[in-house]
Chain A
Amino acid sequence: MDTTIDIKGIRDGLLITLPPGRWDEVRQLLIDAVAQRADFFRGARVALQLADRELGAAELGSLRDELSGSDVTLWAVLSTADLTRAAAADLGLARELSPQAGRVAVEPPTQDSALPGEEAILIERTLRSGHSVRYPGHVIVLGDVNPGSEIIAGGHVIVWGRLRGVVHAGAEGDESAVVCALDLAPTQLRIAGHISVSPARKGKPKPEMALVREDQLIAEPWQAKRS
C-alpha cells in the first residue's frame, strides 16, 4: 500500500494529498505526520485532497476537531465524491482553492452601484517601524503610521491617525492621488513623481490632505467640501 502523504505549500496554506487505503489507517497516518512535525504544522491552514474517497460529515468533522487540537486548521476539502463534497459543505469547509475560498463570499457589486477601479485595502492596526505596505489600489489605515514604516500605494492613502512614516501615493504615476491624515507629518511624502518632506510642525495637528496642484506638492487643511 502506498503510504506517503504528500504535503505541498500553496498560497492558502498547505495542500495535503492522502494516499488511498482504509480511512482509519490513512487518517492515523495524517495524525501521526502532524504530531511528528508539530512545530511545522502549528498554526497551519490545511486543504485536504481526498480525490474520490467517500466520507461523511461525522468523519470529516472528527478529523477537523482532532487537527484543531494540534492547532491545525482544516479549511478546505477537495473531492470528486458527492457524499464528501456534501459533508464538507455541511461543515462549512471550502470545496475548492479559488481565491475567495474560506472567506465570506462578498457578492460582486451590481453594474449600477459599482464604481470603476476602486480597489482598496483597509489596515486596521498601527504600522510600526519596519512594516511596509505595498498595494496597487488605495490604502486606508485605521491607526497610526509610525516613523520607519512605509506605504506605497497606486492610489490614495488615507490614514485615520498619525502619519509619520514614508508614504507614496499614486506610485505608478497617478498625479491625482492624495494623502490624507488626521495628523499629516510623514518622514517623506511622495505623490507620483513629486517628493516632499513635512515642514516643522506648527501648532496643534489637524486633518490635512496632500495633493499635487499646478505641479506642486501641497498640503492643505481638510475641510468639508460644500457641494
Chain B
Amino acid sequence: MTAKIATITSGKGGVGKTTATANLGAALASHGLRVVCIDADIGLRNLDVVMGLENRIVYDFVDVVEGRCKLRQAMIRDKRLENLFLIPAAQTRDKTAVSPQDMIRLGEELRPEFDWVLIDSPAGIERGFRNAIAPADLVLIITNPEVSAVRDADRIIGLIEAEEKGPGRLILNRVKPEMVRRGDMLGVEDILDVLAIELIGIVPEDERVTVATNQGVPIALDPGSKAGQAFQNIARRLLGDDVPFESLESRDGFFGRISRLMRAGGEA
C-alpha cells in the first residue's frame, strides 16, 4: 500500500475542516480502505471529539514525534470502522512542538500501511498550517459561501501554490440552496469565479451534521443525510470516480426557475 496524503485546510476557522476530515475518513474507510486521520491542530484538538474517540486517547501525536511512544501506540481504532484510525493531537502543547520535517517523516512512516492519510489542519496560515501541508500530496481547501471564508480560502490557495502543493481542490461546505436561490448567499459560480480551482464537492447545510458531530458519529454513514451523501461523493471523487455534482435545486420547481431567469434579466 502506498497511501495518498491529503490535507484539509481552510484558513478561516469554523468552516468545517474537522467535520470534513472525520467524514471523509469514514467515507473512505466504508469503501474498505485503510484510513488514518491525523489531528494537526495541536493545542486545540477536537477531531477526537468529532470522531467520538476522546476517551480512548493514551498517547498523542507529539508523544510520537518526541519518541515517548511508537506510532502504533498513538493510533486509535474507530468504534465502527475497523480500518479507520485516528492519531490525536496533543492538547497541552502548541504548534511549535512539531516541525514540517516531523510531519513529512510521520507521513512517510504511515504511507506503506494505509491507503489514505487525512490531515486536519488548524485554522490560520502560521506554523500549524505549514506543518499540516508539508507532507501533503494533495490539499483540499474547504470554504463556506461567505465572503470572509472565500477570501481566506483565496489566501490559502496562494500559499499552497507558493509551496508548490497547489492548486488544490475545493469543498464548498454549508451551502443553503434556498438562500442561494434568493440571491442572499454567494452561489457556487461566484465562488469558483474568484478561486478558480477545481471543485470536488458541495456539501449542503444539514442540521443533522451538528447532531452527529455532538454525538461523535460520522454523518457520512447516515444514508438519509444529504450532507452525508455529499461527503460520500467527495470520497468517491477522491478515488477517481466520476460522480456528478448533487443538484442543489431538487425542490426547485417551475417558479424557481422563472424567478431566477427574471432576476438574471433584471441585472443585465
A residues neighboring B (CB under 8 Å): 39, 126, 128-131, 144, 146-148, 162, 164, 203-204
Contact = CB atoms under 8 A, between A and B. Distances in A.
Contacts of A203: 267-268
Given A128-B157, A146-B154, A39 B101 contact: yes
B155 A130 contact: yes
Contacts, number: 34
B13 interface: no
B194 interface: yes
Contacts of B151: 129, 147-148
The 5 closest A-B pairs by CB, nearest first: A128-B158, A129-B155, A129-B154, A130-B155, A128-B154
A204 B155 contact: no
Contacts of A146: 154, 194
Contacts of A130: 125, 154-155, 158-159
A146 B158 CA distance: 11
Interface centre among B151, B157, B158 (most CB of A within 10 A): B158
A153 B119 CA distance: 40
B54 interface: no
B158 A204 contact: no
Contact of B196 (A131, A144, A148, A204): A144
Interface string B144-157: 00010001101101
Interface of B: 101, 125, 147, 151-152, 154-155, 157-159, 161, 193-194, 196, 267-268
Contact of B158 (A129, A162, A164): A129
Given A129-B151, A129-B154, 20 more contacts: A126-B196, A128-B155, A128-B157, A128-B158, A128-B161, A129-B152, A129-B155, A130-B154, A130-B155, A130-B158, A130-B159, A144-B194, A144-B196, A146-B194, A147-B154, A147-B194, A148-B151, A203-B267, A203-B268, A204-B268
A128 B101 CA distance: 27
A148 B154 contact: yes
Contacts of A131: 158
A203 B268 CA distance: 4
A204 B268 CA distance: 6
Contacts of A148: 151, 154-155
B264 to A, nearest CB: 11
A161 B155 CA distance: 18
Contacts of B267: 203
Interface centre among A128, A144, A164 (most CB of B within 10 A): A128
Contacts of B268: 203-204
Contacts of B159: 130
Nearest to B99: A39
A203 B154 CA distance: 25
A129 B12 CA distance: 13
B127 to A, nearest CB: 16
B224 to A, nearest CB: 38
Nearest to B11: A129
Contacts of A128: 154-155, 157-158, 161
Contacts of A164: 194
A130 B151 CA distance: 9
Nearest to A128: B158
Nearest to A131: B158
B64 to A, nearest CB: 20
A131 B159 CA distance: 9
A128 B160 CA distance: 11
